[in-house]
Each structure stands twice: as structure tokens, then as C-alpha cells.
Amino acid sequence: MSLHQKFRMTRQRQVILDELKKVHTHPTADQVYAMTRGRLPRISLGTVYRNLEILSASGLIQKLELGRAQKRFDGNAENHYHIRCVSCGCVDDVMCSILTSIEQDLCKTSEYEILGHRLEFLGVCPRCKDKRTGTRKKMKKGGSYGIKGVTD
Amino acid sequence: MSLHQKFRMTRQRQVILDELKKVHTHPTADQVYAMTRGRLPRISLGTVYRNLEILSASGLIQKLELGRAQKRFDGNAENHYHIRCVSCGCVDDVMCSILTSIEQDLCKTSEYEILGHRLEFLGVCPRCKDKRTGTRKKMKKGGSYGIKGVTD
DNA sequence: TTCTATGCAAAGCATTTGCAAGTCC
DNA sequence: GGACTTGCAAATGCTTTGCATAGAA
């Protein structure tokens, strides 16, 4: 939480970072907990929460607060948008450029000091589209993609 | 929650809707609870939650899920963006047009069926800017505004 | 009259925190 | 050695839910 104190790379912290970098999914805290227990059978959920907080505050990972759903964490610390499946809750990266101008535009007209923006897309993931067999509108067939394919 | 059943306009529901339309702030459930107790001293928080849910599901009001903070509710049901003060947590409307093209662009490249997007700005509200007396960077002095002025 | 809504209290869930013991630099 | 961390468990805070009673159509 602090980052006003130096932070140590403990084994727990390293493993959490490792596991997070290893996957392209966007795991929740309890998923990270599960992912680390193989290597650290005695780690506690509280430690996972604390470390995810510290790692994201230090910029090594990214904390995603999409909607009011459970927080998720992204081993990719670079600024990018996400899309969330309203059906299964999975989260994928969106390959589109960051909107820089909207903040500048708002600066001109707003009394606020603008610090940033948060953009998130909602949709139905390919897997869930397939599940609802036939019975729905607007079924894309095309093959191109702009979303990194991995999931929940 | 349902809306598959007809819903009745009870006194509680009406008062909640009323009070919400009356203000331009974006109250949390417990603030709505406080706002209604003047007219309905015996209303319960649970009822407030249930009705806010029903009213927003029916489109009469809007439910705001900004970050993972407490939900807020907006008597203005029209689609518009919001800005949240990182210092005091207040929420204001942002007067800028809705981005329609980003979803269409994403449609072309994404395997997802795009259903919508959620955009939220972060900043420091005028009131909080004033509080930190002088001791900070980037103090706007200008008078124009693009944000409906009312607050938390 | 019938089905929905209310009040109350208890439960739920994700997350945070206090504390004594352990560990890193 | 001293500050930062951990594991454990309890606490927190917002929101939801079960249930018996009340109320709208």
C-alpha cells in the first residue's frame, strides 16, 4: 500500500509476479491464490491481496477494476483497454489505441483537473456466443480478430 | 430484479424516484436512504436497494458502477459520461458526446459481440483543488466549464 | 383476492486489518 | 538488527436474501 518504504522481493511476491506474467488471462485475487499454491502451499489469501496491491502500486502489474465485479490483475503493465464478457465474466485485452484526445478536450471545458480515464467494453465472448446454439441474433462468422484470444 | 413481472408503483418506490430526480448529485444507496427518511421514516435500507435496482432495470434511473467504489444512482436516465474525484469521491456529469464509433471499430476486429462500453473520467474536483491551498502543480484559473456543477 | 413489496435481521462476499512470529537486506 | 512481511483469523463494508406481514391492482 505504502511505497513510501522500500519493498523487498520476497519469495511470495516473486512467485505471484511470475505466475501473473506467465498467463494472458486476467485472474482474480483468489485465482492468483490458487495459481501460487502449487509453489507456495502455505501462502495465505491475505498475503496475495497485499502483494497484488503492492505490485500494482509499483507499476509491475496492473489492477483492473471493471464494473463492480471482483478485481482482476494483469501481468501486462502496459496501458491498454479491456473487454468483459457479460455472460461468463471473462476479460480479454482489446487491441486498440489509447484515446488521448478526449482527456485534452475535457481539460478545456472542465473545472476538474483531469487525471485520466477508464474505458471498458462489454460484450459476449466467442465461447459464449457458441454456447447459445443458434437461438440468437447477430452471429458473426468472420475470422479476423483484434482481441488477444486468451480467457478467464 | 425481474421485470418479467409487472411492477407496482408503491409509495416507497415513488419517493425514491422523486428524490433522485430532484437532485443532480449521484447519491449512493445509503444517501438515498437518508434522503427518503424524511418522508418515509420507516423505510428500510433493503427496500431502498431493491427499488434502486428495479428502477434502474426499468430504465427510469441509471445505476453507476464506477471503479469498485460504492454504487451510485443518477436520476438522469439519459446516456452520459461521468467524472469522479479521486480525492473526495464525488461524481459529476461530463458534458461530452457519446463515443459511437469506437464500438463500431471494435466490431470489425473483435471476435466478441460488442454490446457497449463504459467510460469514466478521473480527476480532482474544483472543491478539492481549492482545499490543497497553493501547494500543488497545474492550478487552472479559467472560468469556463463543461461539467454540470453539482456534487456529492 | 392474489401476487408483489416491505421491514427486519441475518447472511454473503470480496477485501482489509491486527497481531505475533518470521524473513530479508 | 531492524524494518518489512507473513499467516492466521477476525473484522469490515456494501449489498443481498429469507421470511412473515402489509399493500397495490
Mind listing the pLDDT tens digit for each residue in B22-33?
A: 999 999 999 999
Contact A132, A86 (CB under 8 A): no
Which residues are CB-neighbours of B34 under 8 A, at least 6 positions away?
A: none
The model's confidence at residue B4, banded by pLDDT at 50, 70 and 90, is: low
Percent of chain A with pLDDT over 90: 75
Mind listing the pLDDT tens digit for each residue in A100-135?
A: 999 999 999 999 999 999 999 999 999 999 887 654
Give dist(CA B134, CA A28) in Å, integer.
40
Is A96 in Cβ contact with B102 (below 8 Å)? yes
Give dist(CA B117, CA B139) in Å, integer.
31
Give dist(CA B152, CA B147) in Å, integer.
14
Give dist(CA A68, CA B82) in Å, integer.
16
Cell of B10: 408503491
Q: Is the CB atom of residue B14 positioned under 7 angstroms from any atom of strand C?
A: no
Give the number of other Cβ atoms within 10 Å of residue B14's Cβ.
13
Those of residues 101-130 in A touching chain B at CB distance below 8 A are 102-103, 105-106, 108-126, 129
pLDDT beneath 70: ranges in chain A: 1-5, 133-152
Instruction: Supply the pTM of this predicted model.
Output: 0.85
Contact B65, A66 (CB under 8 A): no
| Partner residue opposite A113 with nearest CB, options B111, B113, B123 | B123
CB pairs under 8 A between A and B: 138
Cell of A149: 484470444
Is A115 in Cβ contact with B122 (below 8 Å)? yes
Mind listing the pLDDT tens digit for each residue in B99-132?
A: 999 999 999 999 999 999 999 999 999 999 988 7
pLDDT at B43 over 90: yes
Those of residues 80-99 in B touching chain A at CB distance below 8 A are 83, 85-86, 92, 94-96, 99
